[in-house]
Amino acid sequence: MITVPVIWGDFEKNIMTDACENVRIVNENMDKSLFLALEPEATSLYCFRNNIINKDYIKKVEYYIICDLGGGIGDIVTHLVGSNITLKEIEPSYGGNF
């Protein structure tokens, strides 16, 4: 799995996929061997699953926002916390050159 900025379109994602094939990170014949994940979503899941976001705090809130700012690009995702401590995306991830 490789993370990419939210603002990347299919053209940029294809370049990344081709680059991974060229350096043999993945095999071009194994179309399911590479997954591209949006950076703020991957960050959110990592923080949530590794207790970086306090579970007691999560039980008290309805949603939280992850902002990934750096390198001139800002990516944002908002997740709703379900009653059984599950996550649901409220709005599609958003990003831009900032």
Cα–Cα nearest to 94, from 43, 36, 41, 45: 41
Q: pLDDT (tens digit, 9 = 90+) per residue, 28-56?
A: 666 667 888 888 888 888 887 787 776 67
Residue ranges of domains in the chain: 2-97
Q: What is the per-residue pLDDT for 60?
A: 67
* pTM confidence score: 0.70
